[in-house]
Structure 1
Amino acid sequence: MDSITSIKTELNEKSGLQIWWRLLRPHTLTASIIPVFVGTMFALGGYDINILLFLAMLLASVLIQAATNMFNEYYDFVRGLDNEKSVGIGGTIVRDGIAPKTVLGMALIFFGIAILLGVYICLESSWWVAAIGLVCMLFGYLYTGGPFPIAYTPFGELFSGFFMGTVIIGISYYIQTGLLTGSAVLMSFPVAIFIGAIMMSNNIRDLDGDKENGRKTIAILLGRPKAVRFLAAMFAVAYVLTAIYIMMGILPIWSILAFLSIIKATDVIKKFRGKTKPLEMMPAMAATGKTNTLYGLLLGISLLAGHLF
């Protein structure tokens, strides 16, 4: 058995349509779905929700996230960061033999479709959304593309959390209501932290390989044990903010439901402790995405309950 076949077996990677599914990095797409859901649910108070706008925003957000993942796959390969033994990537280029230009082309197509959806969203709301959307797409590209990739710096978590959390929640709220309130911005911060945590988890897992390739992520600067504690602190801050917003009346009392996700957040930290190999940390990485999903779903449901009852 050659090395590629061996690693594919170890990672349980299959051929066929799964090649293209893995390229999307589906475990990360929660970072684009949850903000649209939460922002739309927050808009329910006193406003009628335009379902078509919601669906268009949801699909555009997922397409931009998927395209960003493809840019990541392409540029990490071009820079020599990924090889057939790399864990946590789609492996479409290095293990499945798909041409790099095909991956880049798909990313651009996804961006193109997102732009068309953006035109519809703007026609139904405001052309200011187009400017903000283009900035988001630019940073999606610059995350791993361009001469100074954001993902190679200590600011990856900050940028990903801000653009995919705060900005997308803000847009989702604005296109339904025609305005942007301070409460909507504040409410976005815990979600932004959880999205940043997905990137932090990814960087903890990839710490050794990233360090060898000259990256300067927070995880590298702190070292793995302190980075895991930093991740735990991020979770803690998100839950503290949620509690404060409930007491301030920004979130309804129903949002106590979101604290059920603490069980999964605790599981993330347990799965990271004592682990040093990327493959060993894959369960912790997956659990981080599930934490974001569970928190976001419970928060969105609590907002809906707050409007109904």
Structure 2
Amino acid sequence: MNVQTNSVVPAEKGWRVWWQLTRPHTLTAAFVPVLLGTALAVKNNSIHIPLFLAMLFASLLIQVATNMFNEYFDYARGLDNENSVGIGGAIVRNGVKPGTVLRLGFTLFGVALLLGLYISASSSWWIAVIGLICMAVAYFYTGGPHPIAYTPFGELMSGFFMGVVIIQISFFIQTGYITNVSILVSIPVSILIGTIMLANNIRDLDGDQKNGRKTLAILVGRQNAIKLLAGMFIVSYSWIVLLILFTDTSPWLLITFISIPKALKAVRGFIGKTEPLQMMPAMKATAQTNTIFGFLMSIGLFIGYFL
């Protein structure tokens, strides 16, 4: 859900309608975990490229489908309008039929399911079970009678399933096993995925509160939510230091610290802001932190393996 502003958000045209519907700023939360899980597997295994690509596209398709379900259900509940900030706007601004958005979401789920069958047949059928659970969580994040996104557990669920679970699946399909290190390495990226959801909820706090949501940002209040966001960034970077000190991971992981300015920009961008449009740069910086951090972490692993 996204709140209304006093300025009219312009409608998109042509292919931009469908591109905006994917909510591209959220897609980093789909491909960064796959990249990191695969990078973890390089140390002891050669990478199976078709499996990597199948996992990458399946994750992206599920994320895009989730965004479409979000678009549909928020519209169906009367929470979005043509002035809403942070949505694709295909329904309320561009005239796309709600049923079309819903069917497209299920179609993408179907394609992801086919990719999942290939992944499972090539690795383990337990992956199919876990994948179906992930898809169910993706749907019920905004669908169903009690959407996860309307509760204080949105950050936890998204971080766990899109972070820990996707990273472990990506690692497992390349190696046939998971390790303590693979789990520990997944934690900071999982936290940063949670920050994307928290940033969204900080931006939408006023509108969500009016519509009866009970997000974490609402429960703790705007100022405490911003402090929590900063704390999540601090834990993520501190976790890298702990990984280097207490596991056999490479000191090259410290290159993730290059992304710290983006994290600072995200936190500072929320301080003193109350209007959704004012907070959009902070949201963008939060997503960019996850992207840069994840890429640099993967690069650090690669360098550590081969030097």
Q: Is the 8 A contact 2:9 2:84 kept in 1?
A: no
> How far apart in 1 are the matches of 2:219 and 2:76?
25
Q: Is the 8 A contact 2:255 2:296 kept in 1?
A: yes
SS in structure 2 of the partner of residue 299 of structure 1: helix
The residue that corresponds to 1:20 in the other structure is 18
SS in structure 2 of the partner of residue 7 of structure 1: coil
1:128-167 equivalences under 5 Å are: 128-167=126-165
Q: Deviations over 1:122-158 (max 9, x none)?
A: 1111111000000000000010001110000000000
> How far apart in 2 are the matches of 1:219 and 1:153?
10
SS in structure 1 of the partner of residue 226 of structure 2: helix
Aligned with residue 261 of structure 2, among 260, 263, 269? 263
**4+ residue runs over 3 A deviation:** none
The residue that corresponds to 2:9 in the other structure is 8
1:50-65 equivalences under 5 Å are: 50-65=48-63
Aligned with residue 67 of structure 2, among 69, 72, 76? 69
> How far apart in 2 are the matches of 1:221 and 1:286?
23
> How far apart in 1 are the matches of 2:90 and 2:248?
44
Shift in Å at residue 45 of structure 1? 0.8
SS in structure 2 of the partner of residue 80 of structure 1: coil
Letter in structure 1 aligned against 2:223: P
Q: Is the 8 A contact 1:166 1:185 kept in 2?
A: yes
Q: Is the 8 A contact 1:8 1:14 kept in 2?
A: no
Letter in structure 1 aligned against 2:271: R
1:104 aligns with 2:105: no
> How far apart in 2 are the matches of 1:110 and 1:290?
25
Q: Is the 8 A contact 2:37 2:167 kept in 1?
A: yes
Letter in structure 1 aligned against 2:52: F
Shift in Å at residue 250 of structure 1? 4.2
TM-score (normalised: structure 1): 0.96
> How far apart in 2 are the matches of 1:112 and 1:266?
39
The residue that corresponds to 2:212 in the other structure is 214
The residue that corresponds to 1:43 in the other structure is 41
Q: Is the 8 A contact 2:9 2:85 kept in 1?
A: no
Shift in Å at residue 186 of structure 1? 1.1
1:119 aligns with 2:104: no
> How far apart in 2 are the matches of 1:18 and 1:138?
28
> How far apart in 1 are the matches of 2:198 and 2:250?
29
1:189-200 equivalences under 5 Å are: 189-200=187-198
> How far apart in 2 are the matches of 1:146 and 1:105?
16
Q: Is the 8 A contact 1:204 1:228 kept in 2?
A: yes
Q: Is the 8 A contact 2:152 2:215 kept in 1?
A: yes
> How far apart in 2 are the matches of 1:283 and 1:251?
33
Shift in Å at residue 240 of structure 1? 1.0
Letter in structure 1 aligned against 2:193: I
Shift in Å at residue 79 of structure 1? 0.8
Q: Is the deviation greater in 209-218 or in 219-228?
A: 219-228
1:209-288 equivalences under 5 Å are: 209-288=207-286
Letter in structure 2 aligned against 1:205: R
Shift in Å at residue 84 of structure 1? 1.2
Percent identity between the aligned chains?
57
SS in structure 1 of the partner of residue 8 of structure 2: helix
Please, which runs of 5 or more residues in structure 1 have no aligned partner?
none
The residue that corresponds to 2:174 in the other structure is 176
Superposed CA RMSD in Å reads 1.2
TM-score (normalised: structure 2): 0.97
